Amino acid sequence: MRAKVELTAELNRPFQYATMTDVQAAVLSRLPQLAGSPVRSDTSNEIQAAQDILVRAKTGTGKTLGFLIPALEGRLRSLEDFLEKYKRENPEASSNEAKKALAAYAKSTVGALILSPTRELATQIANEAIALTTHLPQFGVRLLVGGASRSNQLREWVRSPSNDIVVATPGRCVDLVESDPLIRKPLSNARMLILDEADTLLDMGFSDDIATVTKHLPDNNNRQTFLFSATVSKQIREIARKSLKKDHVYIDTVPANEVDTHMHIPQYHTILPSAEAQLTHILRLIAHDQLLHAREAAKNGGVGGGKTVVFLPTTRMTQLFSQILMSMKNHLPWGRDTLVVEIHSKKTQDQRTRASDMFRRATAGYSVLVTSDVSARGVDYPGVTRVIQVGVPGSRDLYIHRVGRTGRAGKSGRGDLVLLPWESGFISWQLNDIPLKPCTIGETQRELAALAADWDANPAEFAPPSRTTARNGHSRDRSSPRAMTLPAALSPRLETLDESLKTNVLPTLDTLDVREVFASLLGYYIQKAHELRTTKEVVVTGLKRWSVEAVGLEEEPYVSREFLAKMGMNDGRTKHRGKPRQDYGGFGDRGGSPWEKRGRQSSGDAPRRSPFGGDRGSYGGDRGSYGGDRGSYGGGERRAYGDRQRDSGDRSSRSRY
């Protein structure tokens, strides 16, 4: 117990925690067993004595420290064991020789390998590990994730005197362990394997990657394994059976009678009458949340105005909606004091880290995170007041994880699901046990109009003193507030929102960009027709109409018969009321698929730059390091992998579209 008391004292320095959470208390009460046997005979006996655990804990309950502290204590104990054994076997060795031997051992082994499903969560874990080990300057924390420079990660691995805690996403870990012996050999001597968000790792299809990684680690009897999961399904139990020792301990920190977080968050769904209403309704939902929290923010000098996370089904749609929202900010209640942050897989890892930190730290004004599913799980964003999901999420569980970004730590929140008419089957077939309430467009308009009338009647009560807001969401000058400058009364701005969108914004969108969004949605939705209890033909027709009605294409996109045949749609020919259907739409002229035509110039001009950011196909950023041996991860620009990144993780893969 001596080590536990000392570590708890050290925790008070970087984290300032007065008490432990339930999961921390449950796990750390077993710290002597988890850190290994106090018998210092040899490493194998120590490993065999250390307990394996399967822990059920909700996201956002402090479980990261629950596994980092045993990992740290176990590593320190194994280093002490090695040093004592070396001195016992080499009694004539000098102090310098012993230090060199210990350094060689630390370099040739890994204390703990932590696998995390997303880059954001992996980065968050690595930064907590750095903070935890501030009193151990010689302690090495390595981060191995996709989207960041592979060569930089290898360089840091080689330069580091030790790799005590290694945090990785599965794809990058497989890539490195199978290609580089400098990483493979130390991992073959890893003391501990930790699977964080194990259910998410499996949901995202990383089971094969996990198996590949564990093949290069010591076997079950010669390593310690922790599984942390929000749910314990049959699949998780099967992984536990294969990965954990038979005498492993199951720790459940979720009370049997506790209602799941998503069950007490007010949740609403809107089935749009047509695609034409989609963007306007989403903007109104954001404005509605801004107004609900404006009065509270006014009392606090602009702090606590609320945060919204908008989830979109594909990276391309995320890029497009972020562009539209930036153009429409002045029509929202908070106007230019609305911070818009964009995260998706086409951002470099450094860009994603900076955007995530900016949204997390933002306190002044109102913030909107526009994101794909890279932000759906594990990452903690404090103060999120609303989650808006546009379109059908990847699964029922993903819907729940997204909603869980709000209403955290006992605070209030709200979830909205916005669907097109042909997507409505997802609610009745996938979410029938979730307390979703209908929310019509008219109802939202009426509530918004009433709130706007209150604002216009007494602007000072709603419009707080505002400060020049820095990019990180913090005020640059807290001592001299300036009055919020609004272009006009709020009600007229909201009344002209739809007209301005269609007149001033949609015509400026690049046609090829919109068609790329259509292609990405087609690839996403056409395989989900069975989940919607509809046909692939209905999905294609619905997306064609969306491209015209929602985002302003002049004519419906064309999709070749060959593509439809690959999607199992009868070579593009289907019967409809006794007549053959026409081909589905067009990407301009009818010769070749959209991805074959993507690079062509429409008028012979020089290659254009995309408003989505950077030249098409570019890597997007200069190389850099993560900001020092002991600093937080996420400084400098690194090269990304562009189109070859998956939203949910880090492995390179060909586009499905």
Q: Tokens representing 86?
A: 């070396």
Whether residue 196 is found in the same domain as residue 322:
no
Whether residue 227 is found in the same domain as residue 376:
no
pLDDT single digits (tens) 400-424: 888 888 876 557 789 999 999 999 9
User: At 121, which amino acid appears?
Assistant: L
The closest of 236, 148, 247 to 635, measured between CA atoms, is: 148
Pick the residue with more confidence: 598 or 502? Answer: 502
**10 in a domain, yes or no?**
no
Whether residue 325 is found in the same domain as residue 398:
yes
Whether residue 207 is found in the same domain as residue 283:
no
User: At 116, which amino acid appears?
Assistant: S
Whether residue 520 is found in the same domain as residue 502:
no
Give the end of a domain, one of 189, 224, 252: 252
**544 in a domain, yes or no?**
yes
Q: What is the pLDDT of residue 47?
A: 65
pLDDT single digits (tens) 605-648: 333 334 444 333 332 333 333 333 445 555 433 333 233 333 44
**579 in a domain, yes or no?**
no
**469 in a domain, yes or no?**
no
Q: β-pairing, 579-580 with 575-576?
A: antiparallel
Whether residue 556 is found in the same domain as residue 446:
no
Whether residue 67 is found in the same domain as residue 156:
yes
Name the percent of the chain lying above pLDDT 90. Answer: 45
pLDDT single digits (tens) 206-228: 888 999 999 999 998 889 999 99
Q: Report the distance separating Cα 348 and Cα 145, nearest Å.
A: 11
Backbone angles phi, psi at 572, to 5 degrees: 80, 0
The closest of 405, 411, 433, 442 to 284, measured between CA atoms, is: 442
Q: Report the distance separating Cα 315 and Cα 307, nearest Å.
A: 21
Q: If you write DSSP's letter for every residue of 483-506 in order, what string do you get? A: ----SS-HHHHHHTHHHHIIIIIG
**305 in a domain, yes or no?**
yes
Residue 396: which pLDDT band, with cuts at 50, 70 and 90? Answer: confident
Which residues are bridge partners to 195 per DSSP?
115, 227
Highest mean pLDDT among 91-95, 146-150, 296-300, 645-649: 91-95
Give the end of a domain, one of 252, 275, 298: 252
What average pLDDT does range 285-301 have in this prediction?
A: 83
Q: What is the pLDDT of residue 453?
A: 92
Which stretch of 129-143, 184-198, 366-380 has the lowest confidence by average pLDDT? 366-380
Q: For residue 4, is pLDDT > 80?
A: no
| Mean pLDDT over each residue of the chain, to the nearest integer | 78
**454 in a domain, yes or no?**
yes
The CATH number of whichever domain residue 30 belongs to comes to 3.40.50.300
Q: For residue 455, is pLDDT > 50?
A: yes
Q: What is the pLDDT of residue 636?
A: 37
Are 200 and 377 contacting, i.e. CB atoms less than 8 angstroms apart? Answer: yes
pLDDT single digits (tens) 497-549: 999 999 999 999 999 999 999 999 999 999 899 889 999 999 999 999 999 99
Q: How far is C-alpha 260 from the geometric centre of its chain's CA atoms?
A: 21
Q: What is the pLDDT of residue 302?
A: 65
Whether residue 227 is found in the same domain as residue 139:
yes
What average pLDDT does range 319-334 have in this prediction?
A: 94
What average pLDDT does range 120-130 have in this prediction?
A: 90
The closest of 248, 223, 221 to 237, measured between CA atoms, is: 248
**193 in a domain, yes or no?**
yes
pLDDT single digits (tens) 137-178: 888 999 999 878 899 999 999 999 899 999 999 999 999 999
What residues make up the domain containing 188? 25-35+48-78+107-252
Q: What is the pLDDT of residue 322?
A: 96
Q: For residue 652, is pLDDT > 90?
A: no
Q: What is the pLDDT of residue 387?
A: 95
What average pLDDT does range 319-341 have in this prediction?
A: 92
Burial label for 211, CB within 10 Å (0-12, 13-18, 19+), is middle
**415 in a domain, yes or no?**
yes
Pick the residue with more confidence: 634 or 562? Answer: 562
Whether residue 54 is found in the same domain as residue 167:
yes
Whether residue 247 is found in the same domain as residue 365:
no
Whether residue 59 is found in the same domain as residue 139:
yes
Q: For residue 357, is pLDDT > 90?
A: no
Whether residue 453 is found in the same domain as residue 419:
yes
Domain count along the chain: 3
What average pLDDT does range 426-437 have in this prediction?
A: 88
Q: Report the distance separating Cα 375 and Cα 361, nearest Å.
A: 15
Q: β-pairing, 110-115 with 192-195?
A: parallel
What average pLDDT does range 428-442 have in this prediction?
A: 90
Q: For residue 656, is pLDDT > 70?
A: no
Q: What is the pLDDT of residue 522?
A: 93
Q: What is the pLDDT of residue 570?
A: 63
